[in-house]
A and B are shown apart, each in its own frame.
Chain A
Amino acid sequence: MKLKRFEEIIGFTILGFSAIIVILILGTIIVNIISYGSNAISWEFISDFPKDGMTKGGILPTIMGTIFVTIITTLFSIPIGVSAAIYLSEYAKEGMLTRIIRAAIRNLAGVPSIVYGLFGVAIFVQGLGFGSSVLSSGLTLGLLTLPWIIATSEEALKTVPHSYREGSLALGATKWQSIRSNVLPYALPGILTGSILGLSRAAGETAPILFTGVVFFVPGLPDSVFDQFMAMPYHLYILSTQHHAIEQVRSLAYGTALVLITLILIMNFTAIFIRFKLRKKFQM
């Protein structure tokens, strides 16, 4: 009896400790970035262009660049990803083909991001002639996000009770009508949450945009999707490793990190908020 109790305490402690470690890691990162970066934050920092070889001024073009690229990524990956998920979950018959598709998606998720970068160069920059641009980078990040969006959307579709589909079909609805009005709305919170989390991951990536459109410095914001751009993750990389006066720009680097992580946290909280809102609405 004593031994059992002892084992229980040991087990509980190990599990609890593991959970706390996770929180500690996140906490340390955030505290570290805030403590070093908060000095750099000012209105000028987020609304102005870099000056004097990046040693002064703000990071506006990098913020806008990251936002533009993420918009392209969203427009590309959500429609394709969600459609593919609907096909796999609702239409595809289990068989050789769907097994191959699923295996492909899983493997796609495991491809290193630098490889996506190289692929983006081959396909978008050169193959399709989009050049080094917002478009090429956005599409490359889209490819990276696709497997994630497909997987989470399919998961969300699977949680919609079978009886909704049956009830609707029994009323003479076509399959597509049933999906559109009786399956998709209820899977939407899960699809959106998964998609936003996938996109926030993509927004922080450096490798895929490295070869496909991001640059160290351009005067002015991109005018079209075919322009090169600046982006926060790359800016951070330059400031912390490639700059001629690394010590001098350290606080700017931390400031950039702080803005980037804030943007990503905002996206994640939006995802949580949407899920909360929609779940309430559909439970009505």
Chain B
Amino acid sequence: MNNIIIKDLSLAYGEKQVLKRINQEIEEKKITAIIGPSGCGKSSLLRCINRMNELIPDAKIMGQIIFDKIDIYDSNTDVTEVRQKIGMVFQRPNPFPKSIYENVAYGLRINGLKDKNKISETVERSLDDCGLLKEVKDRLHTSATELSGGQQQRLCIARALAIEPKVILMDEPCSALDPASTFKIEELMVKLKTRYTVIIVTHNMQQAARVSDTTGFLYLGELIEFGNTKKLFTKPKEKLTEDYISGNFG
């Protein structure tokens, strides 16, 4: 088992408390969706799992996140290793202004892979996994910024997959995309969960209901409810969850 175990996790930006003592185990090889109104801390929670919150100067993080038998916040843990194992896809597609090929190869190179054939193989396989290879096969060396938004986002997923992470975090990956591209990304997520643990933050409840196995509802920094997606959407245990999914606030 390679679950992510969140223990007593609290996060504050300066004086502002964003996450309040979150305790939850997230199962491996499933899609877990985190939903909640804007500003509830769902992106912040996601960014705790690969330590991206540390980039914010006055962020204070307390508690533990155990993954692969280690506490990722332990002082002996190498943050770059954490981020290799736990990849991330951002809200806005952020391809580097390099060629499509170089975008995917980048993660391999910084992790010390030099063998050109191996790099080529991995690049192609990752692009293929994201259904992008057949679309871009004959222009691998043209700029990634010329791709459409949806293609760029799939490229960013391919880039994350190339370094063989175990977990993929997705921070509202479809919010900047049109419905057709959104559909492709959702399909891709379902495909990915056979090999990866996928955690997605979304403000789109239909999306959570469509793709996820497990859903967590976060409200004002507290995890109100967490459980099987179908159950959570049909028979929520908490009144707050019910109000939120039925659109009474948010």
Contacts and interface: CB of A to CB of B under 8 A. Distances in A.
Interface in B60-108: 80-84, 87-88, 90, 92, 94-97, 99, 106-107
Classify chain A: how many residues form its interface, as a range.
Answer: 20 to 34
A93 interface: yes
A224 interface: no
A166 B163 CA distance: 16
A283 B88 contact: no
A163 B106 contact: no
B163 A172 contact: yes
B96 A182 contact: yes
A166 B57 contact: no
Contacts of B52: 166, 169-170
Interface residues of B, number: 30
A172 B81 CA distance: 6
A173 B81 CA distance: 9
A116 B94 CA distance: 45
B111 interface: yes
A127 interface: no
A31 B230 CA distance: 81
Contacts of B96: 164, 167-168, 182
Interface in B27-63: 50, 52, 55, 57
Given A282-B97, A283-B143, A168 B110 contact: yes
A181 B95 CA distance: 14
Contacts of A282: 97
Contacts of A164: 94, 96-97
B160 interface: yes
Given A167-B90, A169-B83, A171-B160, A186 B110 contact: no
Interface of A: 93-94, 161, 163-164, 166-174, 177, 181-182, 186, 282-284
Given A171-B83, A182-B106, 4 more contacts: A163-B92, A172-B84, A173-B107, A182-B96
| In the A-B complex, the 6 residue pairs with the closest CB atoms | A172-B84, A163-B94, A171-B107, A170-B88, A172-B83, A284-B143
27 contacts: A94-B57, A163-B90, A163-B92, A164-B94, A164-B97, A166-B52, A166-B94, A167-B94, A167-B96, A167-B156, A169-B52, A169-B83, A170-B50, A170-B52, A171-B106, A171-B107, A171-B163, A172-B80, A173-B80, A173-B110, A174-B110, A181-B106, A186-B97, A282-B97, A283-B97, A283-B143, A284-B142
